């Protein structure tokens, strides 16, 4: 089995508001990523998935917990990570339109990270590398002298991928990388990301609200609810035997293409209520107000994660004794 390059333990990120309230955006999250694998992190809007991304790349400092990257805990040194660590963990944002500077040519945008992380490169070498990066993501080298506005949405997102590759990363955080794109373009970008992963041995944390997308993209899936992981499993196991009531609710509502897939889906569970505010997290299990299986203990005690089968863990009182 490939080595773990990232181990996140009891990660917390809270934000204090001016009125004294606290936003519990990420609360006791644990996950691992191995070399060359894709972990799909799935959650509704407001579940804290982008906050996790920003903490992992050092844009936010963690409130608590550990982020162990290749043996070093980097949770509390966001701005002070080594250049090597910064270069090796890169992020691709959802909207390439706002993440690329419209006043810079693509060449300039691609050279910017090289100027910081690869100071030994001459100007000619940087120009050549910028063009090579474009070709690596399937775009013509001539795009280097265009501005972002001259490109389509999918092309701009591939430029963002090329820019992330400029520092030779090991781990890429893909924060909803296709959700701002037309459906026809999404498949091309995902296919290129998959090719790059095999060619370069990259690890991906693929963040999305689209659970169905994970079936063919992720090796493992983790479900996030109100800043907490409620279930993690290898992808095949996850889609065949979803355990957590929230996961079952999500899976029961995703569209499927074939009768075989329909037969594997849990019976339709009507979603009740909205995701509560992370300022006012319910006591005990954060899902208890929406859960059809709620028991008295759920309102009182926060459930712990239990591993039910190899790699398949769930955080729910229904499985508290490892029962299944």
- Closest to ligand SF4 by CB, 71 vs 273, is 273
269 makes contact with ligand SF4 (CB under 6 A): no
- Closest to ligand SF4 by CB, 68 vs 320, is 320
* Contact between 174 and 206 (Cβ < 8 Å): yes
C-alpha 78/C-alpha 74 separation (Å) is 7
- Minimum CB separation of residue 248 from ligand SF4 in Å reads 10
C-alpha 76/C-alpha 67 separation (Å) is 9
- Minimum CB separation of residue 19 from ligand SF4 in Å reads 29
DSSP SS3 for 191: helix
Q: Residue from 249, 291, 308, 313 that binds ligand SF4 (CB under 6 A)? A: 291
**How distant is the alpha carbon of residue 293 from its chain centre?**
29
Q: Residue from 49, 156, 288, 312 that binds ligand SF4 (CB under 6 A)? A: 288
C-alpha 282/C-alpha 295 separation (Å) is 14
- Closest to ligand SF4 by CB, 220 vs 288, is 288
- Minimum CB separation of residue 271 from ligand SF4 in Å reads 14
- Closest to ligand SF4 by CB, 40 vs 303, is 303
227 makes contact with ligand SF4 (CB under 6 A): no
- Minimum CB separation of residue 316 from ligand SF4 in Å reads 3
Question: How many chain residues interact with ligand SF4 (CB under 6 A)?
Answer: 14
Contact pattern for ligand SF4 over residues 146 through 165, marking x by CB under 6 A? --------------------
316 makes contact with ligand SF4 (CB under 6 A): yes
* Contact between 49 and 207 (Cβ < 8 Å): yes
**How distant is the alpha carbon of residue 200 from its chain centre?**
19
Tell me the HSE value of 257 on the side-chain side, using a 13 A CA sphere.
3
Residue 72 DSSP one-character state: E
Q: What region, left, alpha or beta, does residue 295 occupy, with left being phi > 0 and alpha being psi -120 to 50 degrees?
A: beta
> Which range touches ligand SF4 (CB under 6 A), out of 60-68, 84-92, 274-282, 284-292?
284-292
Contact pattern for ligand SF4 over residues 241 through 260, marking x by CB under 6 A? ---xx---------------
Q: Helix/strand/coil (H, E, C) string of 175-219?
A: ECCCCCCCHHHHHHHHHHHHHHHHHHCCEEEEEECCHHHHHHHCC
Q: Residue from 137, 222, 298, 308 that binds ligand SF4 (CB under 6 A)? A: 298
Query: What are the tokens at 227?
Result: 């800043």
DSSP SS3 for 231: strand
* Contact between 13 and 55 (Cβ < 8 Å): yes
Q: Residue from 91, 213, 285, 313 that binds ligand SF4 (CB under 6 A)? A: 285
Which residues are at the interface with ligand SF4 (CB under 6 A)? Answer: 244-245, 285, 287-288, 291, 293-295, 298, 303, 316-318
């Amino acid at each position: 089995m490939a080595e773990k390059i990232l181990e996140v333990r009891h990660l917390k990120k809270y934000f204090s508001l001016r009125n004294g309230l606290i936003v519990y955006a990420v609360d006791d999250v644990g996950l691992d990523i191995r070399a060359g694998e894709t972990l799909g992190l799935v959650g509704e809007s407001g579940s804290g998935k982008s906050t996790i991304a920003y903490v992992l790349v050092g844009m936010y400092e963690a409130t608590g917990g550990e982020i162990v990257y290749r043996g070093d805990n980097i949770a509390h040194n966001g701005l002070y990570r080594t250049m090597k660590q910064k270069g090796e963990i890169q992020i691709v944002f959802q909207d390439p339109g706002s993440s690329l500077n419209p006043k810079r040519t693509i060449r300039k945008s691609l050279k910017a990270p090289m100027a910081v992380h690869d100071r030994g490169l001459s100007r000619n070498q940087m120009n050549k590398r910028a063009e090579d990066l474009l070709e690596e993501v399937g775009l013509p080298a001539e795009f280097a002298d265009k501005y972002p506005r001259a490109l389509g949405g999918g092309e701009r997102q591939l430029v963002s991928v090329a820019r992330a590759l400029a520092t030779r990363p090991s781990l890429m955080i893909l924060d909803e990388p296709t959700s701002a794109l037309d459906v026809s373009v999404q498949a091309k970008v995902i296919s290129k990301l998959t090719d790059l992963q095999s060619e370069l041995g990259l690890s991906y944390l693929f963040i999305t609200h689209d659970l169905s997308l994970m079936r063919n993209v992720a090796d493992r899936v983790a479900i996030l609810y109100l800043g907490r992981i409620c279930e993690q499993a290898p992808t095949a196991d996850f889609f065949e035997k979803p355990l957590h009531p929230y996961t079952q609710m999500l899976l029961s509502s995703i569209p499927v293409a074939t009768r075989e897939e329909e037969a594997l889906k849990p019976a339709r569970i009507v979603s009740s209520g909205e995701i509560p505010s992370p300022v006012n997290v319910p006591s005990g299990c954060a899902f208890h107000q929406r859960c059809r299986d709620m028991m008295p203990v759920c309102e009182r005690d926060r459930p712990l994660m239990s591993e039910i089968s190899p790699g398949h863990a769930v955080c729910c009182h229904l499985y508290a004794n490892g029962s299944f």
